[in-house]
Chains A and B, each alone.
Chain A
Amino acid sequence: MKPPESGGRDARAPLPGATALERGRPGRMALKPLVFALCLLPLVWLGWKAFDGFLGANPIEAVVRYLGDWALRFLLIALAVTPLRQITGWSWLARLRRMLGLFAFAYVIIHLMSYIGLDQFFDWSAIGREIVKRKYITIGMAAVLLLVPLAVTSTDAMVRRLGGKRWRRLHKLVYVIAPLGVAHHWMMVKKDLTEPMIHAVILAVLLGWRIVAARRAARHNGGGPSRSETACAVRSSS
C-alpha cells in the first residue's frame, strides 16, 4: 500500500507529461472504450429484459428501481476511484474517474426520467406534490440538482475556466450528493434495509478513508490543508 500523500505529489497540478506517458503505453489506449462499454452493460441488460418481457408483473417499478440502484452504484464506483488509486498506486485509474462520474450522472438522469415518464407519466402536479410531501423524493431531487453543476463543469475547458482550486471545491459537492442518494434509497425501502445498509457502509468507508488520508497528509506536510486527497481530482480531467 502506498501512502496517500504519494497521490498528492503527482496531482498538485495537471500533469500533461504523465498522461502523455500513459497514453503512450501499449494497452492503455483500449482502457477507456472498454470501461465505457462495461458501463453501458446495465442498460443493455435492462433493454434485453424489457424486450423479452421478463421484468415481472410490475415492469415500471422494476425499471425505476433498477436504474436507481445503478445510479447509486455508479456514484459509489466513482467515489472509489481515488482511494483505490492511492492504495494500489494504479495511476491509470484516475483517467476513468470523470467517465465514471458522468455515468453516475447519466444513470441518475435516466432514473429520474423513468420516474417522471413511466411512473408518473408526466403528471407534473402529482410530481410537484411528491417532491414537497415525500422526504425521500425531496432528497432525491436535491441530489439531482446538486449533480448538475458537477456534470456541466466536467469538461477540460470548464476545469481551466474555474481554475483547479475552485473546481476542486465545487466538486466536493459529491460528498454531499452521495449520502443524499443513499438516504433517498434508505427512506424509500419498506422494511428490508439490507441493501441501503450495504451502500451506507461502502460510502462510509470511502468518505472515512478520505478523512483519514487527509489527516495523515496534513500531519506529514506539517499541517497543510488536506490537499492530497482533493488535488487528485484535477488529474481526472486529463
Chain B
Amino acid sequence: MLIRMGPDIRESEVTDKGLWLDRRRFLAMGAAGAVAASAFPVGASPLTGAKSAYKVDETPTPMKDVTTYNNFYEFGTDKSDPAQLAPSYFGKPAKPWTLAISGECAKPGTIGLEDLIKPHALEERIYRMRCVEAWSMVIPWVGIPLADVLKRFEPNSKAKFVEFTTLVDPERFPGQRSRLLDWPYIEGLRMDEAMHPLTLLAVGLYGETLLPQNGAPIRLVVPWKYGFKGIKSIVSIRFTETPARSTWMKSAPREYGFYANVNPKVDHPRWSQAKERRIGEFLKRDTLPFNGYAEQVASLYAGMDLAVNY
C-alpha cells in the first residue's frame, strides 16, 4: 500500500463511509450494478482523514458518478474513457511514486509520495467541483493543504508562481499517444493561491485512495477554480518567477486563461457559465462567484478585471 494508515482508525470512521455510498441507487442497480461496483475497489485502499471544517452543506455526488464521469484526456476524450481504460492501462500508481521539486526554493530535490504526505495529517474536505463545461459535483476529498507541503521546500522571494506537471507515460496514459494536447499537462497557481488554506493536495476521495481516473496517486484541488486547474497524477512541482503557460491556455488561449476562477459573469466563448448542472439533478442551478468560495478568496483578486484575467 502506498500511503500507510495510522493504526488508530476507529471503527466509527470506517463504517461512516457506508453513509457515502448511495445505497438505494446501488440496490436498484441490481446484479449488473454489483458487477460494475466490484470494479471500484481495484486499485483503491481505505484512507481516512480527520473531518475538516471545510465542507459544504450539500449532498455529495454519488461515488459511482465521481469515479466514472471524468475529464482526463491522458486516457481519452470521452468522459467514460478514464474509468474504462484505467484498470488495464494505469493499474496501480507506480511504486515508488516520486515528485521532483525544483525552481526558486531552498530545498529542491526528489521526494517520494509517502515522504511528502507523512508529516501531515490527512483531512477530509467536502468541496464543490465546477467543471468549465458547466456541470458540477460535490466531492469528499482526502488530502493535505498544499501550503503546508510547499513551505517545507522553503520557496524564496523569487517564487511568485507554482507550476505542476502530470506524469508522461503513454504506456499508462493511452491518450498521450495522440498529440491532442501538448503533453505533459501543465497547470500553475500564483503563490498566494497556492498558499491559500482552501487549496488541497488530494490523495483520496470517499475514504479511499484516489483511483487513476481521479488523478492517482496525488492531485491538486482548487475549489474556486474550474476543474481543469486541478491537475492530476502530479510528478513535478516547480517554483517560478513567471506564470506557467498551462496546457489549456496553449490549446485554446481565447477559451482558457491562467486564473480560470469560476465566474458566472464571464462566459466561455462557446457557452454560458451563468448556470451549471449538478450531476444527479435535473434543473440547472445558478453558478456562484468563485464557486461559492468568494468570501474566502475574492480578496486575492481585488482590483483585477476578472473579465480580462479569466
Contact = CB atoms under 8 A, between A and B. Distances in A.
B282 A60 contact: yes
Contacts of B283: 121
**Could you say which interface size class chain B belongs to?**
20 to 34
Interface string A128-167: 0110011110000000000000000000000000000000
- The dominant DSSP class at the B interface is loop
B181 interface: yes
Contact of A57 (B69, B251, B270, B272): B69
B69 A187 contact: no
B280 interface: yes
A142 B24 CA distance: 44
Interface in B255-285: 267, 270-272, 275, 277, 279-280, 282-284
A130 B69 contact: no
A24 interface: no
A204 to B, nearest CB: 23
A130 B251 contact: no
A192 B180 contact: yes
Contacts of A188: 270
Interface string A188-214: 101110000000000000000000000
Contacts of A190: 77, 133
A53 B271 contact: no
A191 B77 contact: yes
Interface string A34-61: 0000000000000000000100111011
A53 B68 contact: no
A126 interface: yes
Interface string B42-78: 0000000000000000000100110011000100010
A126 B272 contact: yes
Contact of B68 (A57, A121, A126, A130): A57
Contacts of B64: 57
B272 A191 contact: no
B277 A58 contact: yes
B68 A56 contact: yes
Contact of B279 (A53, A57, A130, A133): A57
6 contacts: A53-B29, A57-B65, A58-B79, A121-B284, A126-B272, A188-B270
Given A60-B277, A190-B77, A191-B252, 13 more contacts: A56-B68, A56-B79, A57-B64, A57-B65, A57-B79, A57-B279, A58-B69, A58-B135, A60-B282, A133-B267, A136-B270, A187-B270, A191-B180
Interface of B: 28-29, 61, 64-65, 68-69, 73, 77, 79-80, 133, 135, 180-181, 251-252, 267, 270-272, 275, 277, 279-280, 282-284
